Copies of this chain bind each other. A is one copy, B any other.
Amino acid sequence: MTVTADETAQPAIAAGPHQTPCLVIDVDVAREQYRRIADAFAGAHIHYAVKANPELPLLQALVAAGCRFDVASRAEIDLCLAAGASPGDLSYGHPIKKSEDIAYAYARGVRMFAFDSEGELDKIVRHAPGSSVLCRVLASSKGARWPLSRKFGCVPEMAVDLMKVAALRGLDPAGIAFHVGSQQLYPERWEPSVATAAAIFTELRESGISLRILNAGGGFPVSYRTPVAPISAYAAAIGAAVRRHFGLFTPSLMIEPGRYVAAPAGVLYTQVVLVARKSYDDDEPRWVYLDVGRFGGLAETEEEAIQYELSTVRAGPDGPVILAGPTCDSVDILYQHAPYDLPLDLAAGEVIRILGTGAYTATYSSVGFNGLPPLRTVVR
């Protein structure tokens, strides 16, 4: 199954003819997903992670719905402002930024920046004086389908020291951020980092520095082929962890959903280019080549991490397939270990819908590897 009807909004997209490959985004679905997560996390500041899908009509709809934004670059700042967002509702959540990009953001009114190192703090002091800062700490991302590395976040004792420096150098030490990994399946995985953050809050309070924001990041999962727990389960687990570890000193909660808002809004229409058998061994599955692959928008199929639900027009007896993309690159294979079945009489030219493809797809696609154009997006 793809989505649990009572939990995830459903795209109302007719299976109309499309030149494939084409990603169709239903803004209503994204807005509905935003409403769900905002309801579940009542009182929290919801910053949509623009990198998940930066289509302007989607951002406009989210602005109208009261959403805030997490941005990672100049272009994302410009897009949010173009969509009508107030600069005060943007958080520059990428902990690694060029100095000129910090200055660019500051000049446009952005006043909240993440960092996780002394070098980055220096840049913020210089190029965004007086701004609010969130220090990102390392978190365990065990359980995430797309786990984080140690690329972002410092150890807690360094966060304490850096926040003291931030205060001394005229910044507003606003809070602590962490991220438990995208498509994080286990609600309980936030607790260890909430506990770490609470300890940092306490230690700094004893030094006379009062943090106020707990940024619990993103990672909220959507149902691809496997249903996930409802968003309320994540809100409940995080809420309980905050009460347990922060006690009376309740912080303002901030979250940064990207996938949760955008993924269910997208349906990728692709075409079967070829169905082939490469040997006379009946045990070898058919190879099905689509006109979209890892370099055309489905980058998250790397190591088969994200397993999208496929939908064919016709029903009928199915059989196992290996799914590959359209480029000459032999790593451009979507699924060869994950079990996928498609109709036994599937033929070249048929359209397949790849569901839940609204996040981390179109923007990933290559500018032109193999001379293939980037994934086109149509917003409805």
A240-282 CB contact bits vs B (8 Å, 1 = yes)?
0000000000000000000000000000000101111111100
> How many residues does chain A have at the interface if contact means C-beta atoms less than 8 Å apart?
77
Q: Are B76 and A291 in contact (CB under 8 A)?
A: no
Residues of B within 8 A of A368 (CB): 54, 75, 363
From known contacts A72-B327, A117-B276, A330-B152, infer whether A295 and B371 are also in contact, taking CB-CB under 8 Å. Answer: no
Give the Cβ gap from A137 to chain B, nearest Cβ, in Å. Answer: 9
- Could you say which residues of chain B place their CB within 8 Å of the CB of A205? none
Provide the residues of chain B in CB contact with A278, threshold 8 Å: 116-117, 138, 150, 153-155, 158
Contact of A374 among B181, B324, B367 (CB under 8 A): B367
User: A133 to chain B: closest CB distance in Å?
Assistant: 15
- Inter-chain contact A279/B51, CB cutoff 8 Å: no
Question: Are the C-beta atoms of A147 and B330 separated by less than 8 Å?
Answer: yes
Known: A117-B278, A274-B117. A54 touches B371 (CB 8 A): yes
> Does A107 lie at the interface of the complex (its beta carbon under 8 Å from any beta carbon of B)?
no
Whole-angstrom distance between the Cβ of A136 and the nearest chain B Cβ? 10
Copies of this chain per assembly: 2
A83 at the interface (CB under 8 A from B): no
The interface centre, meaning the residue of A154, A289, A333 with most chain B CB atoms within 10 A of its CB, is A289
From B154, B326, B333, B364, give the contact of A295 (CB < 8 A). Answer: B364
**Residue from the list B93, B97, B330 in contact with A149, Cβ < 8 A:** B330
In the complex, A192 Cα to B72 Cα: how many Å? 50
With A96-B326, A155-B280, A273-B96 already in contact, the answer to whether A73 and B371 are too (CB < 8 A) is: yes
Contact residues in B for A73 (Cβ distance below 8 Å): 370-372
Asked if residues B373 and A96 are in contact (CB atoms below 8 Å), the reply is no
CA separation between A342 and B308, bound complex, in Å? 40
Contact B363 A98 (CB under 8 A): no
Docked complex Cα distance between A224 and B239 (Å)? 51
In the complex, what residues of B have CB within 8 A of residue A117's CB? 274, 276-278, 287
Residues of B within 8 A of A123 (CB): 348
A331 to B148: give the CA distance in the assembly, Å: 7
**Complex-state Cα separation, A21 to B153, whole angstroms:** 25
A366 x B369 contact (CB < 8 A): no
What 9 pairs between A and B have smallest CB-CB spacing? A75-B371, A117-B276, A73-B371, A76-B371, A148-B330, A155-B279, A367-B374, A72-B370, A154-B278
A168 to B49, CA, bound (A): 58
Residues from chain B with a CB closer than 8 A to the CB of A271 are 98
Tell me the smallest distance from the CB of A27 to a CB of chain B, in Å: 19
Q: Does A313 contact B (CB under 8 A)?
A: no
Interface centre among A295, A330, A332 (most CB of B within 10 A): A330
The answer on a CB contact under 8 Å between A151 and B330 is: yes
Contact A279 B158 (CB under 8 A): yes
| B373 in contact with A75 (CB, 8 Å) | yes
Q: Which residues of B contact A291 (CB under 8 A)?
A: 98
Q: Give the distance in Å from the alpha carbon of A181 to the alpha carbon of B328 in the complex.
A: 11
Q: Is the CB of A365 within 8 A of B367?
A: yes
Known: A72-B327, A157-B280, A332-B151. A364 touches B369 (CB 8 A): yes
A119 to B333, CA, bound (A): 19
Say if the beta carbon of A50 comes within 8 Å of chain B: yes
Residue from A147, A154, A276, A302 with most neighbouring chain B CB atoms (10 Å): A276
List, sorted by A's number, 8 A–B pairs whose CB atoms are closer than 8 Å.
A51-B369, A72-B371, A99-B349, A119-B348, A123-B348, A149-B336, A151-B287, A154-B279
